[in-house]
Structures are given as structure tokens and as C-alpha cells.
Amino acid sequence: MPIVHPLFFKSMFVDEAIIFVKGGDGGNGCVSFRREKYIPHGGPDGGNGGKGGDVIFRVSDKIDTLLDLTSRVKYIAESGAHGKGSTKKGKDGKDLITDLPRGTVVKDKESGRILKDMSTVGESVVIAPGGRGGRGNKHFATSTNQVPRRAEKGRLGEERWLALELKLLADVGLIGMPNAGKSTLLSRISAARPKIADYPFTTLQPQLGIVEIENYQRFVVADIPGLIEGAHRGIGLGDEFLRHIERTKLLVHLLDVSPLARTDPSDAYHIVRNELKQYNSKLAEKAEIVIANKMDLLDTEAGMKFIETLEGKISKPVCPVSMVTGKNIGNLLNMVASALNKIQTQMSEYQ
């Protein structure tokens, strides 16, 4: 089991990466004339420039997020070398091959047009071709002009800004009543920056975050709008957002235990559980970790008693946390990681 400390985990959200790609420029053609003993005016022998390298995207099953791509913005392939005398062609620039996770959609950033849907492992596409090398002056010799002093410049490599998008399946779904602190949790453990505010229904759309902990273990967390009683009948924002967490492996259920909470936490727990059941009994059968949030607003000793009572009322262990002080977030991540590992093992045994 990974040991995680709140200060230690490095977490990021990426299901989009904005990058710049540019094929290498072609090398220039060369203007040169043969110099040989006893031949005062040798013919043209300027070589062609080399071709610029291509930027190539390849689908790999070794990576599952766009995380690694964001460490760098510019992906520029090597330029071709210029041509030389003695009809020496310049060396071609090296291709720049970049691996992407399966399912990445490559869009032109300006127009939003989809350029490529990278769906098959192993497939590759030239996303920014390198420029052709310019031709050397040897190429321009004709019967009327045997001493051409002109050579071509290499063509520039193609360049563009891209938006890469990856639709991620969430491993963990955050559930709870409005204002429980779901988005705050997502922002504490990932690089996602969801809207957080002290009123219900701040989150209007599901948000995803990637959490990265030690040992390179990563998981995707989905934050969805809060549920209230009658959500399955369309009350509040309704329950249709639950479909976004239908395929998760684990639920993290947040309860607001502060004195300011509008609903008693054990009632809140049962209300949300009931909405889950009404929506889909399979969803309600998923493994669940219950957390008591906003512990910073309770007196320490009274807080622990409160948790004990709460555990009794809902017949489940409850993990006390505070998103404000960060207390126990590391523990929570440990619990999530080991629960996911356990579920993964069970799934592979079952298969």
C-alpha cells in the first residue's frame, strides 16, 4: 500500500493538453562549384538540403493520461541540414515521435476541428510534416545556364497549435449533498480547478481530476453536482449526473459535519443513499468510503465523539477530514488507493 502524505502527493488533472507542434524545416540547397586542379570553372555541385523531421503521434498502451505531455509545450522536430558542395545532400532531420494514450482526440486549437481520433494502439499519424529540403544549384544547370548561382531554400515545417483531449473513465465518484465539499476535495487532490462556493449547486457539470500518488499510482476522480432528496424526481439538479459515475469502481461519500450544515449528516447520508438506489441499484452496491468533512469547524474532542455516534447511526466507518487544514487527506488517499487495488484484484480474479 502506498504511503501518502498530503504534502507528498503530486496530483494533476489533465484530460486536455494544449501543445505546439512543428515539423523540422527543410535544409537549404547549396550553391557550389566544382574546384578541381586544371579546371578553372567546374560545374555546379551544390547538394540538396535534407528534409525536416516529422512530428508523429503514436498510440501507446503504456500511458493512460495526457499528464506527461503537459510537461512540455513545444514539440519541434529536427530541421534538415543544408546541402553541401560535391553534391552532398544535407542530412534529413530526425522525426519526433510522441506517444499518446489510446482515445486521445487531436483537435486544431484555432478551429476546434478534429484532426485525428487516436483510437488504435500502435497506429501513428504525421501531425506536422517536416519541410522539403531545397534543391542545390546543381539541379538548376541547363544548357543555357551552366553556372547557376541559385539554389532553393528549404521549405518550412508545418506548424500549428493543438488541443489534445482524452475522455477519461472515472475510477472514483464523489457523491454527497450540495455544499459538502466535493469540489474542494477534488481541488485539493488534483490539479483540477472546479468552482467552489458556499452555496448549494455550485457545481453544474461533472468535473474530472487525475490524482497521482506515490508509486505512480494514478486514478481519475469525478466530481458531480450535489444530490438532494427527490433528485430522482428531478428535484435540485436531478440525478442524471449519476450516469457519469456509473462506471466508477468506488464512491467517496462526503458528509458535511459542521454545525452550519443544513442537514444532519446521518440524514444526509441516508438521503443520498436512497437517491442512488432509486437511480440504479447497481450504483448503490458499489464500494463506498464515507468521509466526514469540515472537521476544522468542530472542537477536536467533541468532534471525535460526534464521529463515533455518526458511525453508529449509519453503521459504517467514517473517516474524519478537513479540506481546509488538509487533515487526513493523505489517509483518505491511502484508503482510496488500497480500495481500488483490492477491487482491481477481485476483478482480475473474476475474469
Residues at the interface with ligand GTP (CB under 6 A): 176, 178-184, 196-198, 200-203, 225-226, 293-294, 296-297, 322-324
Minimum CB distance to ligand GTP smaller for 162 or for 333:
333
To ligand GTP, the closest distance from the beta carbon of 315 in angstroms equals 23
81 binds, among Mg ion, ligand GTP, none (CB under 5 to 8 A by kind): none
* H or E stretch covering 300: helix 300-314
Among 139, 118, 184, residue whose Cα is nearest residue 31 = 139
Q: What mask, x for binding Mg ion by CB under 5 A, covers residues 69 to 108? A: ----------------------------------------
200 binds, among ligand GTP, Mg ion, none (CB under 5 to 8 A by kind): ligand GTP
To Mg ion, the closest distance from the beta carbon of 196 in angstroms equals 7
Minimum CB distance to ligand GTP smaller for 156 or for 196:
196
297 binds, among Mg ion, ligand GTP, none (CB under 5 to 8 A by kind): ligand GTP
Kindly provide the b/e burial profile for residues 64-79, where b requires at least 16 CB atoms within 10 angstroms of the residue's own CB. Answer: bbbbebbeeeebbbbb
Report d(CA 124, CA 152) in Å as an integer. 31
Which region among 163-171, 200-208, 238-246, 266-274 touches Mg ion (by CB under 5 A)? 200-208
Minimum CB distance to ligand GTP smaller for 255 or for 335:
255
Distances in Å between the Cα of 48 and the Cα atoms of 29, 53, 92, 213 are: 4, 15, 10, 51
Distances in Å between the Cα of 216 and the Cα atoms of 72, 184, 246 are: 19, 23, 25
Asked if 203 touches Mg ion (CB under 5 A), the answer is yes
Asked if 202 touches Mg ion (CB under 5 A), the answer is yes
Closest chain position to ligand GTP (CB): 226
301 binds, among Mg ion, ligand GTP, none (CB under 5 to 8 A by kind): none
Cell 459504517, residue? 316
Distances in Å between the Cα of 279 and the Cα atoms of 126, 202, 254, 298 are: 45, 22, 19, 33
Among 100, 153, 104, 162, residue whose Cα is nearest residue 128 = 162
296 binds, among Mg ion, ligand GTP, none (CB under 5 to 8 A by kind): ligand GTP
To ligand GTP, the closest distance from the beta carbon of 334 in angstroms equals 18
197 binds, among Mg ion, ligand GTP, none (CB under 5 to 8 A by kind): ligand GTP
Minimum CB distance to ligand GTP smaller for 124 or for 179:
179
| Residue 175 · residue 245 · CB < 8 Å | yes
Report d(CA 174, CA 231) in Å as an integer. 16
Torsion on CA atoms 243, 244, 246, 252, rounded to nearest 10: -120
To ligand GTP, the closest distance from the beta carbon of 133 in angstroms equals 56
DSSP 234: T
Q: How many residues form the binding site for Mg ion (CB under 5 A)?
A: 4
DSSP 199: S
SS3 351: coil
Distances in Å between the Cα of 41 and the Cα atoms of 47, 48, 87, 139, 150 are: 18, 21, 16, 17, 16
To ligand GTP, the closest distance from the beta carbon of 293 in angstroms equals 5
To ligand GTP, the closest distance from the beta carbon of 194 in angstroms equals 7
To ligand GTP, the closest distance from the beta carbon of 218 in angstroms equals 22
322 binds, among ligand GTP, Mg ion, none (CB under 5 to 8 A by kind): ligand GTP
Which residues of the shown chain bind Mg ion in the complex (CB under 5 A)? 182-183, 202-203
